[in-house]
Chain A
């Protein structure tokens, strides 16, 4: 089962440390430096989960989220933000983010749970689809 995840943050140390954290948890984590870069990477590889910051140059997290919902409906999005405003949180809800984790992180359990839940979502569907394919084969 492929566990590919894209970390999007304009702050290099944040995206790098998060990617390292996920890799050590057995996830294939890669990084993008802003929303635009993330879209380019998504076009090449269908990441199952995107963990993205909100405030970024060029294309911000909300803009990225909007494009993901439209172009990659199966990709799950977990947002992280240090600039906590109601406006940001509501935009995340409206754009269908799984959750919005506030920086600074107390610990990573909230983020880890959100990411695990996102992969679990994929695994459930994958199982269902496999079952359906299996049935189709038999008939």
Chain B
């Protein structure tokens, strides 16, 4: 936490004062000891917060910009030093404190219970000021190291998060690569009838141009009439072809979109329809897909692109698994339970051995040939589903094929 980290300053020099005063909490019910300590500590360059009991010390330490070092007397009325120390550790586990207990009790058992309460060190009364100074320097070093470590940890976590996001995108790109043949085919068909119609117009245009001229011949006018008659159909088909190509490119663009999408309520049936469209040629003629989605399913909250990615992965996996199967059927069905929508992807392939059920979700686990799969699909898909509060797993045992279940919490219906 920056505010905590900033309150710590460079360590003291061996004999000098810290460059920026370090705050320290001194708690002692004996006013003489308190004042003595303050004098010494101020001379060493610390900024001292004096407290007369454990409660005051706790309040001082728990303040966001309060001291991160403390000298707590053990024996105090109300809440003693050990109790204060324990409470600070319990309530502010994520903050770094360096707590030194000051005690007249020096039995081994006392030392043990002091350290077990969460104290970092202890000094026995009466103590020599130079020893206290040296031990406090240890404390400053320790706090500095802890700050450095937590900064690294934060940076590593940010890095891991950004890498994870990149991985999700890489998986989408890999799916698109595997689907490129089908994408080409999807564009081929509209491009074909656009080409035929362009040719028709080109073939007939000279006659049209001639029939509009000063001395039209009879053949020109009849061919011009033919074009005039066919023109509405030609234009309609060309428009249809263009809009199909546009739709394909826009779907691809949205599927390959980078960056963080946002979660919003969405219709599962619509997401599934889009995913199936992306996979359509991969499935065409080879896999029979039957979807059973009841009408009026409530919406789920998720990022549309990421959810489509999950569905594309599951559909492609099913198609790959059934490659050698005599019957290739994929059934996708949804049911609503009390709290979630369950979406079941059941194929008629050879199924998954029970001992592989969890390995499937490990990164880089793949049963596919080199170049056919990245081994990241299910791993990433599970991450995506869990991101939206759902689960993705293989159902066991199954009577035939493999059955993957996606559960997602649904949005409560707003009843007027």
Contact = CB atoms under 8 A, between A and B. Distances in A.
B2 to A, nearest CB: 58
A79 to B, nearest CB: 14
Interface residues of B, number: 29
Interface in B187-206: 187-197, 199-200, 203-204
B189 A17 contact: no
A60 interface: yes
B110 interface: no
Interface in B139-198: 181, 184-185, 187-197
B264 to A, nearest CB: 35
A24 B200 contact: yes
A57 B192 CA distance: 19
A108 B195 contact: yes
Contact of B200 (A13, A17, A56, A104): A17
Contacts of A14: 189, 192-193, 196
A2 interface: no
B220 to A, nearest CB: 14
B349 to A, nearest CB: 22
Interface in B258-308: 281, 284-285
B281 A104 contact: no
Interface residues of A, number: 23
B354 interface: no
Contact of B226 (A13, A24, A107, A108): A24
B189 A107 contact: no
B281 A83 contact: yes
A24 B229 CA distance: 12
B285 A17 contact: no
A82 B200 contact: no
Contacts of B88: none
Contact of A16 (B204, B233, B284): B233
Contacts of A83: 181, 185, 188, 281
Contacts of A66: none
Contact of B193 (A13, A57, A60): A13
Contacts of B285: 55-57, 60
Contact of B185 (A24, A60, A82): A82
Given A24-B226, A83-B185, A83-B281, A17 B191 contact: no
Interface string A56-74: 1100100000000000000
A124 B361 CA distance: 65
B203 A24 contact: yes
Contact of A13 (B203, B241, B281): B241
B237 interface: yes
Contact of B204 (A24, A106, A107): A24
A103 interface: yes
B204 A17 contact: no
Interface string A1-40: 0000000000101101110110011000000000000000
Given A13-B240, A16-B237, A57-B285, A21 B189 contact: no
A108 B226 CA distance: 19
A56 B203 CA distance: 29
B281 A17 contact: no
B230 A108 contact: no
B234 interface: yes
A82 B189 contact: yes
A21 B204 contact: no
Interface string B216-236: 000000010010001001100
Given A13-B240, A16-B233, A21 B199 contact: yes
A13 B237 contact: yes
Nearest to B237: A13
Interface in A104-118: 104-108
Contacts of A105: 192, 195-196, 199
26 contacts: A11-B189, A11-B193, A14-B189, A14-B196, A20-B196, A20-B233, A20-B234, A21-B196, A21-B199, A24-B200, A24-B203, A24-B223, A55-B284, A57-B285, A60-B285, A82-B184, A82-B188, A82-B192, A83-B185, A83-B188, A83-B281, A103-B192, A104-B187, A104-B188, A104-B194, A108-B199
Given A13-B190, A13-B241, A17-B196, 9 more contacts: A14-B193, A16-B237, A17-B193, A21-B196, A83-B281, A103-B188, A103-B191, A106-B195, A107-B199
Interface of B: 181, 184-185, 187-197, 199-200, 203-204, 223, 226, 230, 233-234, 237, 240-241, 281, 284-285
